[in-house]
A and B are shown apart, each in its own frame.
Chain A
């Protein structure tokens, strides 16, 4: 899968740790606001 500028961001559902709680979220619930989706290689890494 490849994303290009101008594409609709693929929706997903996922579990998240958020402010002390485990919750399920969907990307589409953030429609009508800007989202910065960040990926990173792993917890407990240096960079």
Chain B
């Protein structure tokens, strides 16, 4: 969550809010923020840290693990209309890739703004695939305009 705190300004520049939730109480969030997060990141985590006792919200999103009584490490990208556009759930021992979440946000915003399709591994500045009114003009011809090296 410290890594998310580092990238929080980048999310804000894109007009996105971060909401971070665990089953901990707000008091524990406060203690963690004061004792650790604010030592790792200047100013600490500036986004709301949600308390989700008994995993009520986690259950709504299918990420509450009843065996451990914890919310699984996961993220949901929700668009301005309130629609879920991306999601990921990762095993607890594995940390997330905050840059990938940012990339998904940028890709979704680019798609919603232009209607262009976003190829594998796209980053801002890389080519997108313009949607053709007639699928037959691009079907089987992507190889002419997009190379696998563009994915890396």
Q: List A residues at the B interface (Cβ < 8 Å).
A: 1-12, 14-19, 22-23, 25, 27-28, 30-44, 47
On whether the beta carbons of A42 and B70 are closer than 8 Å, the reply is yes
Q: In the docked arrangement, what's the CA distance between A4 and B86, Å?
A: 9
A sample of 30 cross-chain residue pairs with beta-carbon separation below 8 angstroms, ordered by A number, consists of A5-B84, A6-B84, A10-B60, A11-B82, A12-B57, A16-B26, A16-B49, A16-B50, A18-B49, A25-B50, A27-B19, A27-B82, A30-B17, A34-B78, A34-B79, A34-B80, A35-B77, A36-B11, A37-B78, A38-B4, A38-B18, A38-B20, A38-B75, A39-B57, A39-B72, A40-B73, A43-B22, A43-B28, A44-B28, A47-B92
On whether the beta carbons of B93 and A47 are closer than 8 Å, the reply is yes
What residues of B have a CB within 8 angstroms of the CB of A44 in the complex? 28, 32, 36
Q: In the docked arrangement, what's the CA distance between A11 and B36, Å?
A: 30
Query: What is the total number of residues of chain B having a CB less than 8 Å from a CB of chain A?
Result: 65
On whether the beta carbons of B83 and A8 are closer than 8 Å, the reply is yes
**Given A3-B84, A41-B70, A15–B26 Cβ distance below 8 Å?**
yes
On whether the beta carbons of A14 and B57 are closer than 8 Å, the reply is yes
What residues of A have a CB within 8 angstroms of the CB of B49 in the complex? 16-18
What residues of A have a CB within 8 angstroms of the CB of B29 in the complex? 16-17, 43
Pick the contact of A5: B32, B74, B85 (CB < 8 A). Answer: B85
**Given A8-B83, A39-B21, A42-B70, A22–B32 Cβ distance below 8 Å?**
no
